[in-house]
Amino acid sequence: MNTNKGLNLTMLFDFYEMTMANGYFLHGYKDRVTYYDLFFRRVPDGGGFAIAAGLEQVIDYINELHFDEADIDYLRGRGMFSEDFLDYLRNFKFTGDVWAVPEGTPVFPKEPLITVRAPAIQAQLLETYLLLATNHQSLIATKANRICRAAKGRAVMEFGARRAQGGDGAMLGARAAYIGGCIGTATTISDQLFGVKALGTMAHAWVQIFDNELDAFRAYCKTYPANATLLVDTYNTLKSGVPNAIRAFNEILKPLGIRKCGIRLDSGDIAYLSRKARQMLDEAGWTECTITASNSLDEYLIRDLDEQGARIDAYGVGERMITARSEPVFGSVYKLVAVENADGSITPKIKISENVEKITVPHYKKLWRFYGNSTGKAIADYMTLHDETVDDSRNLRIFDPENTWKAKEVYDFTARELQVPIFQGGRQVYQCPPLDQVRSYCAQQVDTLWDDVKRFDNPHKYYVDLSQKLWDLRQDLLQSKP
């Protein structure tokens, strides 16, 4: 769903994209068909993989591409653009092709998450929004997935709107966190827009506004008997908070036959307090009462709480998830990889740098994932030229493109293309699945990764190999450049 319906975002681009577009127009390149790959170079937090997200917003953006007269007047006012070019923009729309990895897919460095085939001006003007949409949501989905895996099946809720970078950061961040594994969000509008279930009960102000803590708990239980989760750390967690919660449960919920209830811990030594609170609740007969923990949590703190024997049933995670505080940049880039000639042939393009990780993988490509037939686990990813196929009925030798002596024989496997068609000839051909389905797909695909790839610290390197033809082409281009 488009969160910016009614707002024309076409002008949300880096200014150099417009100066280049004008130049392409003036020098006869406006109809030159180009190929661009959007990919990232490094997994945040030193992780073993990332989660692709943001495609639905990319689709919305491409479908809405157009220039209003106000946009054209603004560009004319800059005094840099020809009138013929500005007239061309009046009828501007996307007419190209797009392929992408579906949202929720685990992905790895240098893989094309999105490939664009379009006339030069069209492809160029997509750069900024495609990057900001995929960079932001892939970052948050990746962080959320790490946090949810640390929780080991316990529910994780996204609580970060008030610390997010702006409205879109909160709304779309909640969407991405849901893809990554969260069960819901505190951000109500994300429920309204995307169906990410809005969750929440009370803040400390609820407790403080009443004459005493017990009255506050009684009132909440009376008002929301089916959803009574009480914040017990406003004054003293163990001396008043938990005892008053138990008393309110006994007085209000017990006569109604309600056993479902909860408490939340938001400060202090969470591991110690949760153990003591669990003991007090159990001794009072409230064994079904859940304990939720919040307060600046991340995957490492959640892992530590688990190792220290904390009795936590669910987690609320805010700023460290919604801002990906430990590493708040995903780092995708958008690079030209080929141009199409008048006769339909394709000329590969490469970017070379003294920084080896910035050397691109040229040409129009396919991206494959190999799964072991006996395990269902992902073995490796494989990039080929666009006209190559993989015969998974036969063994295949693959090798590390950077350290070519590292090779292995792949056998008894199934090869799956990861990218799917999104636009063909400017027409959307992909139907975005419901967000619940994206979330389930993400969990299922993460489960295909071996545990050593999913380690938080020093994960096993998952290999993204090149076909022999693609590797040879890349080497030829590297050696032929001055």
In tens, the pLDDT along 323-332 reads 999 999 999 9
Q: Of 272, 267, 282, 279, which Cα lies nearest the Cα of 316?
A: 267
Distance separating the N- and C-terminal Cα atoms of the chain: 47
- The Cα 4–Cα 176 span in angstroms is 17
Q: Which residues contact 190 (CB under 8 A, 6 or more apart)?
A: 170, 171, 174, 175, 178, 196, 198
Rounded CA separation 36/286 (Å): 59
Non-local CB neighbours of 149 within 8 Å, separated by 6+ positions: 181, 299, 446, 454
Question: Is residue 96 within 8 Å of 426, Cβ to Cβ?
Answer: yes
Give the three-class secondary structure for 344.
coil
Residues 474 and 348: their CA atoms lie apart, in Å, by 9
CB 453 within 8 A of CB 446: no
Burial readout 288-302 (b: 16 or more C-beta within 10 A, e: otherwise)? ebbbbbbbebbbbbb
Helical segments of 65-119, H only: 69-77, 83-90
Round to whole Å and give the CA distance between 32 and 83. Answer: 21
AA identity, residue 131: L
What does the block give as tokens for 117? 């085939």
Q: Report the pLDDT value the prediction gives residue 357, as an integer from 0 to 100.
A: 83
Give me the residues of the chain with pLDDT under 70, please: 1-6, 481-482
User: 3-state DSSP call for residue 269?
Assistant: coil
Residues 272 and 270: their CA atoms lie apart, in Å, by: 6
| Superfamily name with CATH number, domain 15-140+328-480 | nicotinate phosphoribosyltransferase (3.20.140.10)
pTM: 0.96
Q: b/e for 309-339, b at 16 or more Cβ within 10 A?
A: ebbbbbbbbbbbbbbbeebeebbbebbbbbb
CA-based nearest residue to 445, from 123, 179, 106, 80: 106
Domain coordinates in residue numbering, the chain: 15-140+328-480, 144-322
Q: Which contacts of 353-360 are long-range, i.e. CB under 8 A and separated by 24 or more positions?
A: 356/402, 357/41, 357/42, 358/41, 359/478, 360/37, 360/335
How far from 175 is each of 57, 139, 179, 299, 409, CA to CA, in Å? 11, 12, 7, 19, 40
144-322, what's its fold?
A: TIM Barrel (3.20.20)
For residues 139 and 324, what is the distance between their CA atoms, to the nearest angstrom? 7
CB burial of residue 209 (10 Å; 0-12, 13-18, 19+): exposed
For 39, 48, 199, the CA distances from 83, given in Å and listed in that order, are 35, 50, 53
Beta-bridge partners for 100: 114, 420
Residue written as tokens 């969470």? 270
